[in-house]
Amino acid sequence: MARLLLILGDQLTESLASLKAADPSQDHVLMAEVNQEARYVRHHPQKIALIFSAMRHFAQHLQARGWTVHYVKYRPPAEGAAQTLLDVVKAQLHRMDYDALWVTHCGEYRLHSEILHHWANQLGVPVECFEDDRFVATLMQFRDWAQERKTLRMEYFYRLMRRQTGLLMTEDGQPEGGQWNWDADNRRAWKGKTCSQYPLPEPLVFQRDEIDQAVLDLVAAQFDHPGQLQPFQWATTRTDALKALDHFMTYRLPHFGDFQDAMASGEPQLFHSLLSPYLNCGLLSPMEVCEAAEIAYREGRVPLNAAEGFIRQIIGWREYVRGLYWLMAPDYSELNHFNAQRSLPEYFWHGRTHMRCLQAALTQTLDTAYAHHIQRLMVIGNFALLSGLSPQAVCGWYLAVYIDAYEWVELPNTLGMALHADGGVLGSKPYAASGRYIQKMSDYCRDCHYQVNTATEADSCPFNSLYWHFLARHRDQLIDNPRMTMMYRQFDKMAPCKQQALLDRGQACLDQLATL
């Protein structure tokens, strides 16, 4: 009774459900680098390098543990080798006799539905799919939770997850410190360059081995996708990912909460963890990461607002967006509440714009495949929302450029959180903001071509007028939202000539979007 286990590039976990159920003495593992996965969007070169190298290391690890692993290395399309996962599976079933193909639930609807609906009748063996139990909540649990509610706010799901895991809970079932959420304490701007009280540590550097080097050479030769391949600074093994976790716990978590929403020129990471790529491809587990944060808090090494803020991102947001993705798939990806139709300005692909904040976030993204949450949400996402960029184009961009991007996590964050294109399923109001927010949370405006303190002049910050233009053009959709009343009141109180000047400047920005 030998089974063939297909393990995907984001399933690099030794305790993966299919591996747990299988028997290494007779079942075989199959892993494959294929064009289907490497090219279905123009993934950032660092993302491809991370996945391929982590896959190769993981295969080696499984072999050392006694598994028989059939590993198919990448071959360019011109060489006529197997290009899809189905091709690879078929070839392996042809080579040897297996009783079944075992898979673990995929992270993307695209591939999951292909496997479940189209493979079995082409393969001649049954396809058995295991639930992906690397998350805290099951998909069924999220569905049940959602069914009981009119609105699906993350905060309430998060509280359920806190109770379920016991993370940061007191013995009598109360949230540690008497409060569920310490977000109000987590909004400080970082003045670190002028104030040494909160110094940033040196980034952790990993040694590159032969596997990394071979993959980096391969990606450099075969993938001309947007983004820089070097310097490549990511961990590609569980051992190194654990070092990254440890380094974060010691040096950055203590101030993670305070500066969670801050942005600073030349400081791409600030106090963020950079752990999402490892969580999402399976090198780290969400619970081990959260438990490490809780221990750091209980031992007095980090304050509560830091530990809670960090844990909320993982058992709150991460679990919630995954549940929402599968609840709403596949139609969610097509939603476009504001009927936004503009295409992406070219600078999304090279970063050259006069808007300093956007230039910094885009350039950093293309150089490192990473931007932290506030850059993704309040700079790039906010700009896309205010400018009416097509959600499908924007989501395609986010899926391609970020090292941690898989549709289950990217889509709800981009389409739902940043663009409000789901009409409020995820968020109770759009995350729209003027330049003042960016000025408050960063030092970008100081060196910008545009003036953040004006709104209607030819050199005024585009965010300032685009903000009012957005509110005005979507008045019918937003006016009844109680969380938007104050903004509309503010606009309605302005003199008509001021209102017109704002709308004119906003329209001018939209007309010149390509050259801002």
State the DSSP code for 327: H
Give the x/- contact pattern for ligand SF4 in 455-494, rule: CB under 6 A.
------xxx-------------------------------
The interaxial angle of helices 319-328 and 139-147, nearest 10 deg, is 80
- Interface with ligand SF4 includes 326 (CB under 6 A)? no
Task: Name residues contacting ligand SF4, limited to 403-442 (CB under 6 A).
Answer: 435, 438-439
- Interface with ligand DLZ includes 32 (CB under 6 A)? yes
In the complex, minimum distance from the CB of residue 413 to ligand DLZ, in angstroms, rounded to a whole number:
15
Burial class (CB in 10 A: 0-12, 13-18, 19+), 299: exposed
| CA distance linking residue 131 with residue 107, whole number of Å | 11
Query: Which H or E run contains 102?
Result: strand 100-104
Residue 10 interface partner, choices ligand FAD, ligand DLZ, ligand SF4, none, CB cut-off 5-8 Å depending on type: ligand DLZ
- Interface with ligand SF4 includes 356 (CB under 6 A)? yes
- Interface with ligand SF4 includes 452 (CB under 6 A)? yes
Among 38, 386, 409, 426, binds ligand FAD (CB under 6 A): 409
Sole window of 310-318, 385-393, 467-475, 505-513 interacting with ligand FAD (rule: CB under 6 A): 310-318
In the complex, minimum distance from the CB of residue 507 to ligand SF4, in angstroms, rounded to a whole number:
17
In the complex, minimum distance from the CB of residue 238 to ligand DLZ, in angstroms, rounded to a whole number:
17
- Interface with ligand DLZ includes 37 (CB under 6 A)? yes
- Interface with ligand DLZ includes 399 (CB under 6 A)? no
- Interface with ligand SF4 includes 450 (CB under 6 A)? yes
211 — phi, psi (to 5°)? -65, -50
In the complex, minimum distance from the CB of residue 449 to ligand DLZ, in angstroms, rounded to a whole number:
36
Q: Which residues contact 80 (CB under 8 A, 6 or more apart)?
A: none
- Interface with ligand SF4 includes 378 (CB under 6 A)? no
Give the x/- contact pattern for ligand FAD in 412-431, rule: CB under 6 A.
-xx--xx-------------
What is the distance of C-alpha 99 from the center of its chain? 37
- Interface with ligand DLZ includes 111 (CB under 6 A)? yes
| CA distance linking residue 484 with residue 383, whole number of Å | 18
101 bridge partner residues: 4, 127
Residue with tokens 């000047």: 501
Burial class (CB in 10 A: 0-12, 13-18, 19+), 116: middle
Q: Which residues contact 516 (CB under 8 A, 6 or more apart)?
A: 345, 353, 354, 355, 462, 509
| CA distance linking residue 374 with residue 441, whole number of Å | 9
- Interface with ligand FAD includes 313 (CB under 6 A)? yes
- Interface with ligand DLZ includes 268 (CB under 6 A)? no
Instruction: Let me know: does 265 contact 360? Beta carbons within 8 Å.
Output: yes
Distances (CA, A) of 242 to 229, 272, 382, 468, 478: 23, 16, 34, 46, 45
Distances (CA, A) of 221 to 41, 84, 213, 227, 400: 18, 20, 12, 14, 19
In the complex, minimum distance from the CB of residue 104 to ligand DLZ, in angstroms, rounded to a whole number:
10
- Interface with ligand FAD includes 372 (CB under 6 A)? yes
Instruction: Let me know: does 136 contact 42? Beta carbons within 8 Å.
Output: no
List contacts with ligand DLZ (CB under 6 A): 8-10, 32-34, 37-38, 43, 48, 51, 106-108, 111, 406
Contact set with ligand SF4 (CB under 6 A): 355-357, 435, 438-439, 444-445, 448, 450, 452, 461-463
Please give the residue ranges that form the binding site for ligand FAD (CB under 6 A): 272-276, 279-280, 310, 313-314, 317-318, 321, 372-373, 376-377, 381, 398, 402, 404-405, 409-410, 413-414, 417-418
